[in-house]
Structure 1
Amino acid sequence: MDQLVAPRTDDHLSPYRAFSRDDWAALREDTPLSLEPAEVTRLRSVHDRLDMAEIEEIYLPLSRLLSLYVAATQRLFRAQQRFLNTIDAKVPYVIGVAGSVAAGKSTTARVLQALLARWPNVPKVDLITTDGFLFPNAVLQQEGLMDRKGFPESYDLPALLRFLSHIKAGRRPVRAPVYSHLVYDVVPNDWVEIDRPDILIVEGVNVLQTGRAPKDGKAIPFVSDFFDFSIYIDADEDVLRHWYVKRFLALRSTAFRDPKSYFRRYSQLTDDEAITMATDIWTRINLVNLEENILPTRQRAALILKKSETHRIAEVALRRL
């Protein structure tokens, strides 16, 4: 696995500018801290170590950068309206958050939602995960794809593309299906409505995935075509494996014990049995997905957040404009 998120800034061939943690933290300037410690605790995932220092040194500078990007995009949108002499509906600014299982995508997405919603103009910020666009388990079982869940072929891609197309067309409201991690399946006849937010965050392992380009030049949209900004949460493979196993052990004594849990059968495993099971799942499924589908999309992100084994972000790489 790669040890660096991108070539260093002295490599003139790199499309990224890399920042140490301290250099990035200095870019916060006077961006106010709007989250309380109790809110940070609620936002972090079960195995994450998000703290106030991470908010102040990493996410507040990122919030400031995104505020500049959103404002610039809004000015460009108004300029295009004047040029085309049209009165188009408000179009959400869409942020994609990608990365491996156990990398901390959900925490990053929730923190950004909380911070961006606290800007002075109080924008409406919505968040969805692409889990809701997975095919139901019944379909995956029928197609022999249960062990490929989370791989590109396990998603109803046309439905996800229609959703994003309607979002970018300014339609209201647009419905997204709901996924339950407890029952490990899409919830039938359950939807979340997205009604023209100012910002929409889309989180998922494969949101930066592309397909083979058509030889005839026909338009084949990708999910990332609808993004205005994208973030990849990065960490070395051995670190990700350790986090995944640790999370599995934590869930064994919490969510897995729920009678409705799809994984209830794992709640009675001993420590050694749980470590063996988690390692096997990681190696057979998540590592393969990471190497074949997720990691190759890293360099398509506008921003790469590289985590150390402590969950702290050690380096930030921002794509040059």
Structure 2
Amino acid sequence: MNPSIEDLAQQVANRAAGRHRFVVALAGPPGAGKSTLAERLVRALNDRSEVAALLPMDGFHLDNTVLEARGLMHRKGAPETFDARGYAFLLDTIRTMPDFEIAVPVFDRTLDLARSGGAIIAPHHRVVVTEGNYLLVDRTPWSDLSAHFDMTVWLDVDDETLQERLVRRWLHHGLSREAALSRALDNDMQNVAWVKRFSRPADITAS
């Protein structure tokens, strides 16, 4: 099944009917296009007056000072470089306290850090769309996330396309062709393999 963005928004709206807060998880490997799809879905839902908000998992990147102290800067973006339990705690708060305004972190790619309180999930945001690489991973601590999702979507993309996109991403960030290829192969594609190996099936698969 490969629904259009309109079909996907309709499915979310149908499943969210009568719910005060409904959380949709968009998962997939690095470079799959999760951020773009999530932004389009939020816009489509808001066009339908569903009042949706976006919560990227990237806001839970560990700070560079922490990664440097742990010798993990070269693996930034890998599972162990995120605050998975903090993310799970926030998801639980968003689901169980829908009548409160909740500040959430947002990752600033220009500054290469997460900004605390970078966005707000308000009571009128009935649908929350969250996206990230590891949302469906069936390994601790990521497996704890599943209890917080009402609907899951997997974005399926072949490895060749992912590698090409990831290299382009690093070129866009100013790396040389050689450095971009190295970064994609030595870190990103390792994460791709891990995500694809350990992720559970989703309710819906898109590409």
Partner of 1:170: 97
Equivalent residue runs for 1:1-321 within 5 Å: 19=1, 58-71=4-17, 74=18, 90=20, 92-119=21-48, 122-171=49-98, 172-187=100-115, 189-196=116-123, 197-212=125-140, 222-249=144-171, 251-252=172-173, 256=174, 266=175, 274-292=176-194, 294-306=195-207
Higher relative contact order (CA 8 A, sep 6+): 2
Q: Measure the CA separation in 2 of the matches of 1:95 and 1:204.
A: 11
Partner in structure 2 of residue 314 of structure 1: none
Q: Secondary structure at the match of 1:288?
A: helix
The one-letter code of the counterpart of 1:59 is: I
- State the distance in 2 between where 1:63 and 1:236 align: 24
* Aligned-partner residue type, residue 111 of structure 1: R
After TM superposition, the score normalised by the length of structure 1 is 0.59
- Note the C-alpha offset of 1:300: 2.4
Does structure 1 retain, via aligned residues, the 8 Å contact 2:24–2:130? yes
Q: Which runs of 5+ in 1 are unaligned?
A: 1-18, 25-57, 78-89, 214-219, 257-265, 267-273, 307-321
Q: 1:279 to 1:190 in 2, by over 3 A?
A: same
Q: Percent identity?
A: 24
Q: Contact 1:163/1:175 (CA < 8 Å) preserved in 2?
A: no
SS at match of 2:104: strand
The 8 Å contact of residues 138 and 199 in structure 2, kept in 1 or not, is answered as: no
Cα distance between partner residues in 1 of 2:60 and 2:181? 26
Aligned residues: 205
Q: How far apart in 2 are the matches of 1:248 and 1:151?
A: 16
RMSD: 2.1
Q: Larger radius of gyration, structure 1 or 2?
A: 1
- Counterpart CA distance in 2 for 1:98 and 1:137 is 24
State the AA in 2 paired with 1:200: V
Taking the aligned partners of 1:141 and 1:229, their CA distance within structure 2 comes to: 36
Change (3 A) 1:178 1:234: same
Normalised by the size of structure 2, how large is the TM-score? 0.89
- Cα displacement (A) at 1:139: 0.5
